[in-house]
A and B are shown apart, each in its own frame.
Chain A
Amino acid sequence: MSDQLKSGDHVSSAERRFKVVKEIGSGGQGNVYLVTEEGHPYALKWYNQAASTPEQFQAIEVLIEKGAPNDLFVWPIALVEGLSKDNFGYVMPLIDSKRYTKLSHYFSGEVDAKRFEPIIDACIRMAHGFNELHLNGLCYRDISFGNLFVDFETGDVLICDNDNVTFDNLTEKEDIWGTQGFMAPEVVRGESPPSAQTDLFSLAVVLFRLLNKQHPLQGKKEYEIDIIDIEALTELYGTNPLFIYDPIDETNRPVKGKKDIAEAYWPYYPTFIKDRFIEAFTVGLQDPNHRVRESIWIKDLSKLRASLMYCYACGAQVYYDKEKVAQMGHCPKCQQALQTLPPRLKVGETILMLNHDTTLFMNQIDGTKIMDYETPFARVEVHPKHPQVWGLRNLTEVTWQYALSDQSIKEVHKNGVLPIKDQLEVYFGTIVGNLRTGSNIPQK
């Protein structure tokens, strides 16, 4: 057996036997093959001899025994060998490449995202996946665009290459590695091996890039490097990293007309999410103990999802910003001033947009249920005969209550519809919400 397998070769574990169909990828540690077992397709990662170490073998064994943290992870299912003991590999589920796009391919422009919801949902799911991994005492070590797959229609996520995963207890210098642009500064500087804390930095980079396209540390400083080598990268990401939107130091801003894609996104996000990214790439850049944790991302991203509204002039998706409601500015697509707001629901300090097609989820209403981002809470519906009448369908088991002008109490049971009326106070069980429909934004 050699580093390269041929079509028709077999590899097997103690109980299972797989037939090699063809090579579907390659990397530094070996190649990936399409294999089948009784006609059922799987993926096989086959290590080259240099990577076929006893330590790697044992690491995969442990992962298989431990099992996947949740179903986002494309986890090893069988350790396999060929005829000789020189090489081995592991079998894992095959990713449906018609549905899922590797993030590196998304960033080379292979697919366009049509809406923001799938992007935000993908961000939430990634944060949740890595949160579960970390709660299991593991760390991923190499969160980067090569390992993350997204369905840009649904926001579903798959996390691949899980032979990167290890117990979160690395101490050796030789464990220091990763992907440039995703490694935390202390890893780039060679001071610390990857850990759950450094994963949090890499995750913040992925989230920032999904929402803003540009790399958070690649502004003027990166643009001015002609040939980028390891010394230049160490400076850029390790010894002197500077956020492109650092609130104090403006020397690394995007370069107008040359490297400025973030300028088309960043200024249009609500203040609360910008503040969170500023935290991630200022304090979080320097101090591994002050990185933004996954649950905070999930909370903020869920709020961001509820801030989505439309530009009524061109139909583009834009964000509502409570902090800037008196000066909403213009649409980034058509440049027209934003003048019309959809109905809103205020719960506590949060204002949720009620667009004609909005679905609200449990964690957007109930702040104590952060991880409940997939349980639908309510859906906006436009009356089929009276398009000016909108309602909120109750998708929960809890009966909602509101008072009519004569002080009588009306109830909205499961699947019932609450009419959206200005100033209406609604009791979603114990949670109180207030509806607003005044639609025009005061112009400055």
Chain B
Amino acid sequence: MTIEREGKMGNRDLHLFFLIDASDSMGYGGKVETLNNAIREAIPHIREIARDAEGCIKVHALSFSTGARWLVKNTDVRDFTWENITTKGVTDMGRGFEILAEKLSTDFQSERGYQPVMILLSDGLPTDDYEAGLKKLKATKWGSKAIRISIAIGSETDMDVLQDFIGDSFRGELKPLKAKNASELKNYIRWASTAASTASINPMKGMLPLPPAVEPEVDVEALDW
């Protein structure tokens, strides 16, 4: 016997989207391996936030290279595991935004949630019309209300594109993060997925804490990009 009784909590979920560059260039210098590893390392920390939250954190991931595809859809972070992504082709980032916009304007019609969190990870320059895709994404209700964060992997990335993605998300206070080595990338992915999720669940004015400072360290993973 417990004191639990029948009824609905009516909690809302937090939707967390990873938009991942899987173009050829991500295959060089261990970038994609680091990324695979970094997302795996972030999972237990996202789970901790989900434990503290009412409602679930649902993870979605898509990759773009030549075209774009869904890797993970609407998976409770408690059941979420990360399959290594492989790299091939060009950087159709705009197509990635488009398939996300399509999903948001169909599956999310009657959904309730916290502000969704979208994390864009890229190392290069889009090869398609990313602006058209981004416009479609921001035209959706869920896309426009999202906390959008972008992380540049290495120094070749077009930072203007990443800034465009962020746009006025979080009242224009955010800048793209630039991961210069593996430990920074790990750190930023963890920060983006956890701090932004926390900021979505418990929004405060100007309360998105900065990514943590890491001691520059020389380790085998700290590849020069």
Q: Which of A27, A115, A260, A317 contacts B7 (CB under 8 A)?
A: A260
Q: Would A228 and B115 be within 8 Å (CB), given that A146-B52, A180-B203, A260-B10 are in contact?
A: yes
Do B52 and A105 touch across chains, with their CB atoms under 8 A apart?
A: yes
Q: Would A113 and B3 be within 8 Å (CB), given that A227-B141, A228-B114 are in contact?
A: yes
Chain A: interface secondary structure? loop
A122 CB → nearest B CB, Å: 13
Output the nearest chain B residue to A265 by Cβ-Cβ distance.
Answer: B5
Q: Which of A1, A27, A227 contacts B142 (CB under 8 A)?
A: A227
Query: In the bound complex, how far is the Cα of B54 from the Cα of A180, in angstroms?
Result: 12
Do B204 and A26 touch across chains, with their CB atoms under 8 A apart?
A: no
Give chain B's interface residue range (CB within 8 Å of chain A).
35 or more
Chain B residues with CB below 8 A from A50, complex form: 209-210
Binds A, one of B32-40, B121-129, B173-181, B211-219: B211-219
Do A258 and B51 touch across chains, with their CB atoms under 8 A apart?
A: no
Do B204 and A177 touch across chains, with their CB atoms under 8 A apart?
A: yes
Whether B106 sits at the interface, judged by CB under 8 Å, is no
Q: Which of A112, A228, A263 contacts B4 (CB under 8 A)?
A: A112
Output the nearest chain A residue to B210 by Cβ-Cβ distance.
Answer: A50
Whether A363 sits at the interface, judged by CB under 8 Å, is no
Chain B residues with CB below 8 A from A110, complex form: 51
| A 218-259 binary contact with B (CB < 8 Å = 1; else 0) | 100001011111100100000000000000000000010111
Do B202 and A180 touch across chains, with their CB atoms under 8 A apart?
A: yes
Chain A residues with CB below 8 A from B142, complex form: 227
Chain A residues with CB below 8 A from B6, complex form: 264
Do B10 and A104 touch across chains, with their CB atoms under 8 A apart?
A: no
Whether A114 sits at the interface, judged by CB under 8 Å, is yes
Do A226 and B141 touch across chains, with their CB atoms under 8 A apart?
A: yes
Whether B135 sits at the interface, judged by CB under 8 Å, is no
Whether A295 sits at the interface, judged by CB under 8 Å, is no
Chain A residues with CB below 8 A from B114, complex form: 227-228
Query: In the bound complex, how far is the Cα of B198 from the Cα of A255, in angstroms?
Result: 27
B38 CB → nearest A CB, Å: 15
Do B3 and A233 touch across chains, with their CB atoms under 8 A apart?
A: no
Do A261 and B9 touch across chains, with their CB atoms under 8 A apart?
A: yes
Do A2 and B214 touch across chains, with their CB atoms under 8 A apart?
A: yes
A163 CB → nearest B CB, Å: 15
B47 CB → nearest A CB, Å: 11
Whether A333 sits at the interface, judged by CB under 8 Å, is yes
B105 CB → nearest A CB, Å: 13
Chain A residues with CB below 8 A from B202, complex form: 179-180
B35 CB → nearest A CB, Å: 20
Chain B residues with CB below 8 A from A315, complex form: 1
Do B194 and A26 touch across chains, with their CB atoms under 8 A apart?
A: yes
Within A81-118, which residues are at the interface with B (CB < 8 Å)?
Answer: 102, 104-105, 107-108, 110, 112-116
B51 CB → nearest A CB, Å: 6
Do A2 and B207 touch across chains, with their CB atoms under 8 A apart?
A: no
Q: Which of A26, A29, A114 contacts B48 (CB under 8 A)?
A: A26
Query: In the bound complex, how far is the Cα of B215 from the Cα of A48, in angstroms?
Result: 12
A71 CB → nearest B CB, Å: 25
Q: Which of B3, B45, B115, B213 contacts A114 (CB under 8 A)?
A: B3
Q: Which of A105, A255, A333 contacts B10 (CB under 8 A)?
A: A255
Q: A104-B51, A226-B111 are in contact. List 16 more A-B contacts (CB 8 A).
A: A2-B215, A4-B214, A27-B198, A28-B195, A114-B2, A116-B3, A190-B205, A228-B112, A228-B114, A229-B115, A230-B204, A233-B203, A260-B8, A264-B6, A264-B7, A333-B5
Q: Show 19 A/B contacts (Cβ-Cβ < 8 Å), sorted by A.
A: A28-B198, A48-B213, A104-B52, A107-B54, A112-B3, A113-B2, A114-B3, A115-B3, A116-B3, A177-B207, A180-B203, A213-B7, A218-B10, A226-B113, A226-B141, A227-B145, A228-B112, A228-B114, A229-B145
Enumerate the 6 nearest inter-chain pairs by beta-carbon distance, A residue then B residue, closest first: A259-B10, A261-B7, A264-B5, A2-B215, A3-B212, A264-B7
